Amino acid sequence: MIRELAEAGFRLSGKRDARLWRGIAWAVTEGALTAAFYGALYLLLQSGFDGKATPGFIVGSGVGLAALVALRIMAGQRAMPLIFAGAYAMMGEARLRLADHLRCLPMGWFDRQRTGDLSARLTSDLDMVETIWSHFLGVFVSGVAMPLFLLLFLAWLDWPMALLVAAVLPLAALAMAWTQRVAQRPGRRMFVANEAAQSALAEYVAGVPVWRGFGRHGQAWQRLRGILDEQLAAVTEVESKPAPWLALFGFVLEAGFVSLVLVGAARLADASYTPQQLLLFLVVALPLYRQLFELGLSTLLLRFAQRAMSRIESLLRERLLPEPDHPARPQGKDFELSDVRFAYDAGAPVLDGVSCRIPANTLTAIVGRSGAGKTTLVHLLARLWDVTGGSIRLGGVDVRQLGTQALHEQVAIVFQDVVLFSGTVRENLLIGKPDATPAQVEAAARRAYAHDFIMALPQGYDTVLSENAESLSGGERQRLSIARALLKDAPILLLDEATASVDPSSEAQIQRAIGELVRGRTVIVIAHRLNAVRHADQILVLDAGRLKESGTHAGLLEQGGVYAAMWARQQQARGWRLQP
């Protein structure tokens, strides 16, 4: 099991740190020195029983025993830092590999994951594996080495009695194997309960304002309590259910020692064994049994670590977005969509047969009812997913042949749900262009009409934002996101409901900024408010995953189709008033 866990760790990190191997070698040395201590103690006691323990011999033996203890401590001191350094380096590499792997997965994969499950794999599972590697591995290796060396010493003293000691090992192994089998189901229940608890706690904390606003705080608390009670029951079961079988494992070892005493006593009766020989043999054999019991307890922890490791490895087996062996370069900034189809789940298409052309250096608006597939289409243009049918070409090249890096160099995206990171305002903007000068940062903020509110913050551009900048309004966060995209200065700009969270005044400012961006760029914008995109060069009208209409605002109104009906409803809605 330890070998399987070690190999899985090497696969996870993608490297074998030499310090880890040196540390394990020192741990084996520590186990050998521990066994040597008991061997030296045996020789000292035997000399006492034989009447050969002179004062000089006793002093010399005491010095030798002290030296063995000192050497064992020194070996342990050499082993653990090396194991710590190697294990932490490998687990650090594993975390980086996981982060890079997740970065390259299709965005749709994240939508199918339970937040608690993914969080548990990246936190508690990884922590468990890291603890096993750093704090447990050296102790386990040393603990295995010590009884093996002691068994060899016992075989040298009296091989028939040593065989009796060894005979109990298969029985103890069977008892431990059954204990681990009994612990499997409670272990699975515990992992599921831990995932549910993490998700429920995160949801509860995030939803406190909603629960309080609707007066349902007690209901939320009861739901959370039920999930945490299940976690408590699962953790209790994983500790208690294997306990009787773990006791059986201990009983087998104790029975083995008792059998050793009984056989030794029988040999005393026929005078083939002396009391001194039996006593000395038992003195050396007893710590061997004790060490075996500790190792048995450790294997249960290894079983859980093995399950945690397999859950982590399953993340690395998730299929990445395919990358071309020889990425091509686009020969323009126009998109061409040919019979594009896409479905998150088989049999439930979100886009079905969309074909159109988005010319370079123009503003194209995508409109439609909620659920029509607007956001999905924009995400496919940025290749956050791959189409399930048809093709999307940029500059005459299929986006799947461009390579993710090359494509994203051409595209900047402003998402509907703005994501800002803990750090200063400036650091968040520099994500768009890490080497931008302060003047370039300020210019981008001004063009996004964000400069004024940034300067009103306590430290201006150096103001530290909390996670996702909760202290800012939705419109302010959106304008920072737009400034970040402007700073990137990519030739293609995708705006997913860029004005969804801004007030009318800010919306008008942002629309003017978008108008400036059209010069020299391909701009694609999603909008629910048709009035905001009536001057677009092209408007694509989606309905139930299909492209129903395309054209200019005036031309679509003349057609009297889906767009004209949407425009009429929105114009009528503008006249609505609340009545007392």
Residues 301 and 351 reside in one and the same domain: no
Q: What's the pLDDT score for residue 519?
A: 67
Which domain range does residue 532 map to?
A: 335-573
Nearby residues of 105 by Cβ (< 8 Å), 6 or more positions away: 318, 319, 320, 321
Is residue 179 situated within a structural domain?
A: yes
Between CA 373 and CA 341 the distance in angstroms is: 11
Residues 295 and 387 reside in one and the same domain: no
Residues 194 and 308 reside in one and the same domain: yes
DSSP string, 339-394: EEEEEEETTEEEEEEEEEEE-TTSEEEEEESTTSSHHHHHHHHTTSS--SEEEEEE
H or E element: which one contains 521?
none
Report the C-alpha dihedral over residues 466, 467, 470, 476, rounded to 10 degrees: 90
Q: In three state form, how does the secondary structure of 101-116 look? A: HHHCCCHHHHHCCCHH
Residues 312 and 367 reside in one and the same domain: no
Residues 529 and 433 reside in one and the same domain: yes
Beta strands at 492-496 and 348-358: parallel, antiparallel or unpaired: unpaired
Residues 296 and 354 reside in one and the same domain: no
- For residue 125, the SS3 value is helix
**Do 10 and 16 touch, CB atoms closer than 8 A?**
yes
Residues 496 and 348 reside in one and the same domain: yes
Residues 117 and 166 reside in one and the same domain: yes
DSSP string, 167-223: HHHHHHHHHHHHHHHHHHHHHHHHHHHHHHHHHHHHHHHHTHHHHHHTT-HHHHHHH
For 370-400, how does the pLDDT look when each residue is reduced to its tens digit (9 = 90+)?
A: 888 888 888 888 888 888 889 999 888 888 8
Can you read off the two tokens belonging to residue 74?
A: 């020194």
Residue type, 18: A
Taking the mean position of all CA atoms in its chain, how far away is CA 399? 28
Is residue 322 situated within a structural domain?
A: no
**Do 71 and 65 touch, CB atoms closer than 8 A?**
no
Is residue 247 situated within a structural domain?
A: yes
DSSP 490: -
Q: What phi and psi, each to the nearest 5 degrees, are found at residue 432? A: -70, -35
Between CA 122 and CA 437 the distance in angstroms is: 36
C-alpha closest to that of 33 among 80, 1, 7, 65: 65
Residue showing tokens 């934002």: 465
Between CA 283 and CA 579 the distance in angstroms is: 95
Angle at the Cα of 76 from the Cα atoms of 72 and 82, rounded to 5 degrees: 150
Is residue 323 situated within a structural domain?
A: no
Residues 268 and 344 reside in one and the same domain: no
How many domains does the chain contain in total? 2
Last residue of a domain, one of 253, 284, 316: 316
List Cα–Cα distances, 483 to 426, 449, 517, in angstroms: 11, 8, 12
Give every residue of the chain whose pLDDT is below 50, as ranges. none
Is residue 267 situated within a structural domain?
A: yes
Last residue of a domain, one of 316, 344, 374: 316
H or E element: which one contains 524?
strand 522-526
Q: In three state form, how does the secondary structure of 21-83 look? A: HHHHHHHHHHHHHHHHHHHHHHHHHHHHHCCCCCHHHHHHHHHHHHHHHHHHHHHHHHHHHHH
Is residue 340 situated within a structural domain?
A: yes
Residues 295 and 408 reside in one and the same domain: no
- Residue 434 belongs to a domain with what CATH number? 3.40.50.300
Residues 86 and 123 reside in one and the same domain: yes
Is residue 430 situated within a structural domain?
A: yes
Can you read off the two tokens belonging to residue 49?
A: 């029983």
Angle at the Cα of 299 from the Cα atoms of 294 and 305, rounded to 5 degrees: 135
Sheet holding 411-414, edge to edge: 411-414, 492-496, 522-526, 363-368, 538-543, 546-551
Residues 369 and 312 reside in one and the same domain: no
- Residue 212 belongs to a domain with what CATH number? 1.20.1560.10
Between CA 369 and CA 346 the distance in angstroms is: 23
Last residue of a domain, one of 287, 316, 345: 316
pTM over 0.85: no
Residue type, 122: L
Is residue 325 situated within a structural domain?
A: no
